[in-house]
Chain A
Amino acid sequence: MSTADTTAAGIEHGTHVSETAAHPQPSPSKGSLSTFLSTYVFSKDHKVIGLQFLFSTLLWFLVGGLLALAVRWQVAWPWSDVPVLGKLFAQQGGQMSPEFYTMLFTMHATVMIFLVIIPVLAGAFGNFLIPLMIGADDMAFPTLNMLSYWFMWPAFAAFSASFFVEGGAASSGWTSYPTLATNVNAAPGSGWGQTLWLVGLTFVGVSSMLGSVNYMTTIILMRAPGMTMFRLPMTIWAMFITAVLQAFALPVLTAAGFMQLFDRTLGTGFFTPEGNIVNNAVATAGGGQPLLWQHLFWFYSHPAVYIMILPAMGMVSDILTCFARKPLFGYRPMVYSVAGIAGLGFIVWGHHMFMSGMNPALGVTFMVSTMMIALPSAVKTFNWLGTIWGGKIQFTTSMLFALSFVSMFIIGGLSGIFMAATPVDIFIHDTYFIVAHFHYVLFAGTAMGVWAAIYFWFPKMFGRTMNEFWGKVHFFLTFIFLNGTFFTMHILGAVGFPRRLADAYHYETFHHLQPLNAFMTYCAIGMVATQIIFAVNFFWSMFFGPVAGRNPWNANTLEWTAPSPPGHGNFDYQPVVYRGPYEYSVPGVEQDHLMQTDPPHPAAAAAAAAAH
């Protein structure tokens, strides 16, 4: 087993560790504005950049959450006055217009996916954790790293500005299907709003690409002596494979985005068919195919849904082992299943297009590959269960969030099977069943995983721990409200209740569903309100939380050998790795954990040999 105790043999695999002197700390004696700027604003230190990403994504999370509440308000009580937000966008006396509704759900998804989930995983945690967990002093390319953060702001500016341009924000969904998105006459938001959306998307793409190159290089080249690939914690494996996914999938989206931009501004017709007439205006260009966009978009965006969960899976794996005080069950199968998900992830994009008019025979092949991608997900779930089996569970807030990740991911994975079954998808495609599915994987999965990670690594970030009592209150309420909001979406979907409708109650089929939707909106409001507890706890603990030592959770991985918070260059001595990251409760060892850097232990070597 790779986790076995070895000595010198492993060290030889270790690779070059760059000199700390390569980017010296700005000397405080200057005390000038430029020092402040280079330390806290245009910092090249991966930890500062990681925290910048964290604070920014939490802010955008709030924006996305408020947009979601406005969407939910309309779905529950169509055409009634929207409190607070209605005043802000004073239209028709506080009542929401249908076009504004389409902008709301478009921008909700856009913000959540491109400004929150993707950057919080790769940008915040990838940045903060990768060098620390592999024993490097920083990222391979600190300047690119800094740029990857600063490219997020133009994106945010473009998305925000789009609400104030003529016609308003983009309104063709986060999927931006042509010809609704490409034809300026098709919707109010298909004017400047859509152009700004594409510009914003391009900036996000540049940011992701810069990050991805950096993460791959850093993980391959800058591991500490002894840190072989198969001694990497799952968090790092997941970040690595996510970076590979980004690198291969993103160029396709970027190219497609430019094609759509050209269709809109230069009169090319990549996605516009001959003789397209929108709003009584005949399109000037033709000869294109609307389905081409869908293929290109999903070729990126299906892998992207894994970009949005693999890092969370990795972090949850590490947190589960730490608080179950037990080695990870099936380390290699876990690594292979992440790789399997990534590989299969490139050949399933067509499952978003079963009803699109794509050749139904092609749909069959996508159906089979999609069914198969449920397999590595199942393997991961079983291994998580195996990990806590026979452990010694500590109910920290972080552990509760990690356990709920497993519990909720089961639901999201199983609902995927319904939609992968093409005949069933005929009925549930574009209904709330899909909305339930992706909120279970993205909110109940990834967001809960992110909270687990925040509570877990907070001491490393700020040197203090968060309040456990309020953490648990936060967990409990979030857990209840999220299930109240999202579980019920499955049965709405079973009625065929369509997504993206400003008001569906005039349909005979759906007119009786308003009370259920009202219930869901109450839960959603509760869920957002609960985050106040989190915000207060977060900021209060930053300054007044109990001071944490280097290793408050008695965890094994390298970041816990560094000071909390680590200084510039991270480690006060060169970490050397002797074993895998999951040596908890090794028989014969007094402590219940053996850190990756602890010198070889005779009892551990014996236990490892016995385990073979």
Chain B
Amino acid sequence: MKRLSALFWSLLFLAVPVLGVATFAVAPAYDIWLPKDVSEHGPAVDGLFYFILWLTGAVFIATEGVLFWFIWKYDESKSNGGVKYVHGSHTLEVVWTIIPAAVLLFISIYQMNTWADVKMRRPDMAPTVEVIGRQFEWRLRYPGKDGMLGTPDDLHLVNDLHLPIDEDVLIQLKSMDVLHSFFLPNVRIKQDAVPGMKIPVWFKAREEGVFDIVCAELCGWGHYKMKGRVTFETRESFDRWLEQKYAEQEATQPADSESAAVAKLSPASLLARR
């Protein structure tokens, strides 16, 4: 009876690594896994994810396995000699301090380059577009014909971001009111938008397609619906789209009433002009 209960409990602890690994193994089959990636730096990020997954997975299986084994082997109803009267082992302590320390240090150094690529090595170029978070939408501002932001010919849009593929794009990220976070799951990009700060975000998309822009930082009651879409397209079709949107804006705002229109455009553009 006692033996049986020991068996039962040790199997319960064995279920942790077994079901744990199984969960991760079947998840991709149900598409509950990393979403499609279309960015240039994405493979490095995902690669690091997999590297850590394998590594921690091995440690997970080993430690949980040992835990199961000890629970199974050393239960009191099994008369396998006396209890080992030991207070520790200096050698073991050194070994299991040095090895994880080395591994953790390795992971630290190994990842730095990717981090620097995504967040520190900003391309030397003018912003492609300005993205401004506002409860609960993404305001977009493309430089007009003069190629400069903050001039009267800027193109203003909401939630419908278009970007060219196969070249670096630089986004100037701002927020008008509260924190937001500009999250492109399919580009492995996330950056908080902070009121009072202009934060550069850059990447290169490799594939055409339409994807989600998610707000990932709580910004109020409507946070859940602060959704945008990003369209990646070739340079030619991007230019064509820009041309067309620009024409649409001109049509609704005659050039002479430009300043009036901007003033009417609510505080977003006001702030943008500062």
What residue of chain B has the Cβ atom nearest to residue A393's Cβ? B75
Residue of chain A at shortest CB distance from B53? A418
* Complex CA distance for A592 and B112, rounded to whole angstroms: 53
Q: Does A98 contact B (CB under 8 A)?
A: yes
Complex Cα distance, B186 from A508, in Å, reads: 11
> Which residue from A187, A356, A516 sits with its C-beta under 8 Å from B192?
A356
B195 near A290: Cβ-Cβ < 8 Å: yes
Kindly list chain B residues whose C-beta atoms are within 8 Å of the C-beta of A186. 135, 177-178, 220
A355 touching B45, Cβ below 8 Å? no
B104 near A179 with CB under 8 A, answer no
| Chain A residue with the shortest CB-CB distance to B222 | A98
Shortest beta-carbon distance, B72 to chain A, in Å?
Answer: 9
* Residues of chain B lying within 8 A (CB to CB) of residue A391: 70, 74, 83-84
Given that A491-B24, A507-B227, A611-B87 are contacting pairs, would A375 and B70 also be in contact in the complex, using a CB cutoff of 8 Å?
Answer: no
- Check if B114 is an interface residue, CB within 8 A of chain A: yes
Q: Which residues of A contact B242 (CB under 8 A)?
A: none
Q: Which residues of A contact B74 (CB under 8 A)?
A: 324, 388-393
Question: Which residues of the other chain, B, contact A163 by a CB distance below 8 angstroms?
Answer: none
In the assembled complex, B224 has its CB within 8 A of some CB on chain A? yes
Total A-B residue pairs with C-beta atoms closer than 8 Å?
A: 325
Of residues 172 through 225 on chain A, the ones whose CB sits less than 8 Å from some CB of chain B are 172-173, 177-180, 183, 186-188
Among candidates B12, B32, B85, residue contacting A611 with C-beta atoms closer than 8 Å: B85
A481–chain B nearest beta-carbon distance, Å: 13
Is B75's CB under 8 angstroms from A491's CB?
Answer: no
The distance from the CB of A530 to the nearest CB of chain B, in whole angstroms, is 15
Which of chain B's residues 27-59 have a Cβ closer than 8 Å to chain A?
27, 31-35, 44-45, 48-49, 52-53, 56, 59
**In the complex, A30 has a CB within 8 A of chain B:** no
Which of chain B's residues 1-41 have a Cβ closer than 8 Å to chain A?
5-6, 9, 12-13, 16, 19-20, 23-24, 27, 31-35
Contact of A427 among B190, B212, B227 (CB under 8 A): B190
CB <8 Å contact, A427 and B185: yes
With contact pairs A188-B221, A509-B185 given, residues A395 and B216 touching in the complex (Cβ less than 8 Å): no
Report B-chain residues with C-beta under 8 Å of the C-beta of A188. Answer: 221
Show the binding face of B for A, using Cβ within 8 Å.
5-6, 9, 12-13, 16, 19-20, 23-24, 27, 31-35, 44-45, 48-49, 52-53, 56, 59-60, 63-64, 66-67, 70-71, 74-76, 82-89, 92-93, 96-97, 100-101, 104-105, 107-108, 111-112, 114-116, 118-120, 135, 176-179, 181, 183, 185-186, 188-197, 199, 211-212, 214-225, 227, 266-267, 270-271, 274
Known contacts A379-B93, A423-B114; 4 further A-B pairs (Cβ under 8 A): A386-B88, A407-B64, A426-B119, A496-B214
Closest 9 CB pairs of A and B: A273-B196, A390-B84, A330-B88, A99-B221, A585-B83, A360-B119, A496-B185, A414-B56, A180-B178
